[in-house]
Amino acid sequence: MKLPPRPFWIAQLAGWGSYFLILWLSGLAYAAEPSFRALLEFLPAKAVLASLGFATSLGLFAVYRHLLPERPRTGRLVLVAVAASLLFGVVWSAAASRLLWPEKPVWPGAFKSGLNSGITLLAWSALYLAFTYRARLDAETERALRADALASQARLEMLRYQVNPHFLFNALNSIRALIEEDRAKARQMVTELSEFFRYSLLHARSGEIPLEAELEAIRSYLAIQEIRFEERLEVTWEVEESAKAARLPGFLVHPLVENAVKYGMETSPMPLRVGISARLAAGRLVVEVTNTGTLGSNGTCEGTGTGLANVRERLAHHFPGRHAFTIAQEGERVVARLEVPAEGA
C-alpha cells in the first residue's frame, strides 16, 4: 500500500496531539484534588488512549484506501464511514481496556465505551474524507486547466503556422509572375522575402513582440508588392513613435495588410491606395489598415477568409474580452481596425 503523503502525517500528529492534551487536562474533572501531581498520574493512561486512537485511525486510512474508489457514491461513503468508525472504535476500546485494566473483563466495557470512541473516529473520518475529496477535486481542476492550456497553445501554434504558408503562397506567385518580366526585380523580391522569413524565424516562439518589429516585416511584404504592381500600388504610413513599443502577437497585423492588397486590387480603381496607421488612445493600441475599394457583397472580404479568421481567433486567445476588431466600408475605403491593451508602450 502506498504510504500517505507528508501533510497527512503532519495533520495526524497535530490532531492526535491536541486530542491527547484535551483528554489529559479533562482528567482533572475526575480528580479528588486537582493538582499538577494529579495530572502526572493521568499522563500514562491518556497517552495510551491517544496512541491507540492514532493507531486505529491508520487502520481506517487503510480501509478507506482499499474499499472506496476515486468517486464513491454518497450512500456507500456514509455507510462505510459509519460502520468502519464504530468497528474500529470497539477495537480501540478493547485494546485500551486490555492494556490499562488487564484484571477487568474486556468486552462488556469495550462495547459500552466503543460508541464514544467510534464517534471520535467518525469525526476523524469526516475530516479525512473531506480533505481527500478536496485534494482530488483540486488535482482534477489542475489537470483540466493544464489540458486546456496545452490545447490553447497547440491551437495558437496551428493558427500561426497557417499564416506563413498563406503568405508564402501569394509571395511566390508574385515572384513567379515577375521572373520573365524583370529578373533584377525578381531577385530583389527574393531578398525582401528572405528578410520577411528572417523575421518569422526570429519571432516564431517569442509570443508578443513590439509593433515596430511587426511593421518591419510588413514593409518587406509591401516592398515585394510594390515591385510587382509598380504604379498601381501606393502605400502611406502614419505610425506614432509612442506606439512602436506596444507589444502584440506576431503576424497579427500582416493578414490585414495582405487582405488590403489582395482584395483591393480586385475592387479598387487604380492606383490602389493602402494606408497603415498606429496610435495610442486611452491606454490602448489602435491599428488601422485601409484600402481603396469595396467589401464583398455579404459585407466581408471574398475568399477563404483564413487571414481574418486567424486574426479574430488569436485576439480572442491573447486578449480575451479586452480587444476589438472590425472591418467595414467607410466611404470609398475599406477600414480594418483592431484595438488591444497598449502593453509595453
Whether residues 205 and 137 fall in one domain: no
Report pLDDT digits (tens) over 2-60.
667 788 888 888 889 888 888 887 766 666 566 667 667 778 888 888 899 999 999 88
206 confidence band (pLDDT: 50, 70, 90): low
Whether residues 198 and 335 fall in one domain: yes
User: Cell 531578398 sits at which residue?
Assistant: 191
List the Cα angle 325/329/332 in 5-degree steps.
140
Last residue of a domain, one of 96, 116, 143: 143
Look at residue 287 and tell me if it is in a domain. Answer: yes
Whether residues 83 and 208 fall in one domain: no
Q: What is the 3-state secondary structure (H, E, C) of 291-330?
A: EECCCCCCCCCCCCCHHHHHHHHHHHHHCCCCCEEEEEEE
Whether residues 219 and 128 fall in one domain: no
What CATH code is carried by the domain that includes residue 303?
A: 3.30.565.10
Mean pLDDT throughout 307-328?
A: 85
Whether residues 137 and 191 fall in one domain: no
Among 179-183, 196-200, 225-229, 286-290, where is mean pLDDT lowest?
Answer: 196-200
Look at residue 151 and tell me if it is in a domain. Answer: no
Q: Are 264 and 272 in contact (CB under 8 A)?
A: yes
Look at residue 164 and tell me if it is in a domain. Answer: no
Q: According to the model, what pLDDT value does residue 298 have?
A: 46
Last residue of a domain, one of 91, 123, 143: 143
Domain count, the chain: 2
Mean pLDDT throughout 202-225?
A: 79
Look at residue 162 and tell me if it is in a domain. Answer: no
Bridge partner residues of 281 (DSSP): 284
Whether residues 99 and 193 fall in one domain: no
Q: According to the model, what pLDDT value does residue 155 have?
A: 56
Whether residues 116 and 29 fall in one domain: yes
Look at residue 155 and tell me if it is in a domain. Answer: no
299 confidence band (pLDDT: 50, 70, 90): very low
Residue 117's nearest CA partner among 50, 65, 42, 62 is 50
Share of the chain above pLDDT 90, in %: 22
Distance of CA 99 to the CA centre of its chain: 55
**H/E run at residue 67:** helix 36-67
Whether residues 11 and 101 fall in one domain: yes
Report pLDDT digits (tens) over 111-169.
777 788 888 999 999 988 888 888 888 888 887 777 666 555 555 555 554 555 666 77
Look at residue 101 and tell me if it is in a domain. Answer: yes
Whether residues 20 and 89 fall in one domain: yes
Look at residue 169 and tell me if it is in a domain. Answer: no
Residue 312's nearest CA partner among 294, 338, 277 is 338
Q: What single-letter amino acid sits at 322?
A: R
Range of the domain at 263: 181-341
Whether residues 204 and 100 fall in one domain: no
